[in-house]
Structure 1
Amino acid sequence: MPLRCPPPPPSPLRCAQALSCCVAFSTAAAAGRWAPGEGAGCVSAWALAFAGSALLLGAEALGRLPPRRDLPLAHAAAAATACAAATVLWPLGHLRGDDGGDGARGRALRVTAAAASGLAAALYGAEVLRDRARPGQPAPYMATPPGLLKVVETVLGLLLLGLAAEQGAGAGPEAWRWCLGIYCVSFAVGLVLVVGCLWGCGACGCGQDPAGARRALGLYAAAGLVAYGAAAVLWPLYGFREELGGRARRPAGCGPGCAWDRAVLVAVLTALNLLVYGADLGHSGRLVLLRG
């Protein structure tokens, strides 16, 4: 009777990822109430990242590894982006100003949640850097730098959509409504593209990468670069120029939920996603030139 080899032990890095996310949402919940918008979003990000890591750990323990190497990588890229964003958002709403009436214990738990979130972001980023496809190495599209950048673009688009909507962009200046539309469309199109590639639909999901698909992906990155370039100008122009209805300085006495802080954060994240689309276009153009 042939001997069966035991499944490999779970990855220590993935165990650390799951543990840090579990600590983050557990301590956030133990600290008491959190802000209904951003607080709920941060806790959801940690819980979803933990759930994905737990599923992958379960698959490893059962010896049923994912059939495609880009599935864990896409999860790691999305979790790294979400946890990094939560590391910024959580202190803005829960560590500035008063302690929320929960005393030193509640504040310590919130600080622990922020620290665990930062650790989780670093651990997920380390997985992406370790396992991403190297130049010239055959791999599914979503394991390559352009594919991973599209995951980051999509998560940032979702984050910007939520923050802009919470700022009342839909009822604000017309320029802000345009920005809201840009965030919405970029998230929706990016989600369809990422899910389609992971599902195996189209050339990007099958590793064939014909010239037509490469050009289409390059055009997508170029369109995103132009759209976010416009948003990077319009959002701060109408948010911080007083002659256009904005506010140039932070209001005195603005508390932890200060709308001005969130407007600055939207402007910074818009510029960040602009850089990500620029990097995506650079990688996609390089693929077109190299493979014709």
Structure 2
Amino acid sequence: MGYFFRLLQLLSTCVALSLVASEKAWRADVSNWSMFIWCFCFVVNHFIVLVEVCELQEQFSLSWDNFLITYTCFSALACLSASIMYPIIHLQLLSYGTQQNHAIAATAFSFIASVVYAMETIWTCVNTSESCSFIGLLKKLEIIVACCILAFISNTFLYMHQQALVWCVAVYSICFILGVISLLRHRCDCDESLPSSHFVFGQTVLSVLLYTTAAVLWPLHQFNEQFGGNPQRSRDASCNAGYSVCIWDQQLAVATLTAINLLIYMVDLVISASRI
């Protein structure tokens, strides 16, 4: 099954990047992130297949199963983000006909890749001899996605003009700090008086509630004209000025990452509740 999953991953990522690279469906100013994701997954999959065919897993000091689980989780999220951001940005920039058809097909194969990566993650956890620390893995994913969000919102032009967006920034910062504390506490087990499951569950509930508000307020105030937002990329002056990643792209990236992190927190909440 592992080779079957990798074959599907290689095929879907290869087709996605090939479709975008052909028929002038690749706009270098806004396609670099998606192309990087597909190329990275394609190359790493080749490396994994080579290692497993040559049976070199034991040459690595780290746990190969844990490496696969971490990699497939990250790749599933990365391909999912590319499946969302690429069509939203590109379909309005490409002309009707072959270019748009290639973009739609590339989006479909990118989404297939994200599903296959998620399936391999679950399959590896179920079929490996080592127990998978779902909580620790999810906490790492939450922190990594939060770091990406904080990197985008370092541009204060994205949120300083509205109090609701400032609240979203506060949500991202608070949840990031709570996640780091939770991960460090899980590692050092500093306070044995409070069960870890209760602490993790309470922190996850709070993060889900906060991220839900951000998942609603951020796109509402960024892309809805009634709340002062800009629904079209072409209206953003910074996009027309030739910047590789303009303000509208950053707003979309934050909205996408917020939805992804909320999904991770919800999975984390279900697993944390089952451990109480």
* 1:188-225 Cα shifts (integer Å, max 9, x gaps): 8768988x8xxxx9379xxxxx9854445334423422
Equivalent positions of 1:1-292 (< 5 A) are: 11-32=3-24, 33-34=26-27, 36-37=29-30, 39-65=31-57, 67-99=63-95, 104=97, 106-133=99-126, 139-141=131-133, 144=134, 146-150=135-139, 153-154=142-143, 156-157=145-146, 160-161=149-150, 168-183=157-172, 186=175, 202=187, 212-236=195-219, 238-239=221-222, 246-247=228-229, 250=231, 270=258, 273-287=261-275, 289=276
After superposition, the C-alpha distances for 1:216-266 in whole angstroms (9 at most, x for unaligned) are 5334423422431342354256447777x524x9579869x7988986885
Larger helix proportion of the pair: 2
Aligned length: 260
TM-score relative to the length of structure 1: 0.66
1:29-74 deviation per Cα after TM superposition (whole angstroms, max 9, x unaligned)? 344442534x222112222222332232222122123624232112
Task: Give the gaps of 5 or more residues in structure 2.
Answer: 240-245
Amino acid of the residue matched to residue 69 of structure 1? D
Shift in CA distance, 71/93, structure 1 to aligned 2, threshold 3 Å: same
Residues 148 and 254 of structure 1, relative CA distance in 2, 3 Å threshold? same
Higher mean C-alpha displacement, 183-192 vs 119-128: 183-192
Q: Contact (CA 8 Å) 1:167, 1:259: kept in 2 or not? A: no
Q: Is the 8 A contact 1:229 1:274 kept in 2?
A: yes
Q: CA shift at 1:182, angstroms?
A: 3.7
Q: Which has the higher contact order (CA 8 A, sep 6+)?
A: 2
Aligned to 2:243: none
Structure 1 pair 28/132, CA: closer, same or farther in 2 (3 Å)? same
> Matches of 2:228 and 2:27 in 1, distance apart?
28
Change (3 A) 1:125 1:63: same
Judge conservation of contact 1:25–1:43 (CA < 8 Å) in 2.
Answer: yes
What root-mean-square deviation, in Å, do the aligned CA atoms of Structure 1 and Structure 2 show?
Answer: 4.5
Task: Give the Cα separation in 1 of the matches to 2:180 and 2:161.
Answer: 26
Residues 261/68 of structure 1: CA separation in 2 closer, same or farther (3 Å cut):
closer
Q: Match of 2:242? A: none
274-283 vs 258-267, greater mean Cα deviation: 258-267
Task: Name stretches of at least 5 consecutive residues in structure 1 with no aligned partner.
Answer: 1-8, 205-209
Contact kept, 8 Å, 1:24 with 1:112, in 2: the verdict is yes
The secondary structure found in structure 1 opposite 2:86 is: helix
Q: 1:279 to 1:225 in 2, by over 3 A?
A: same
Q: TM-score, normalised by structure 2?
A: 0.69
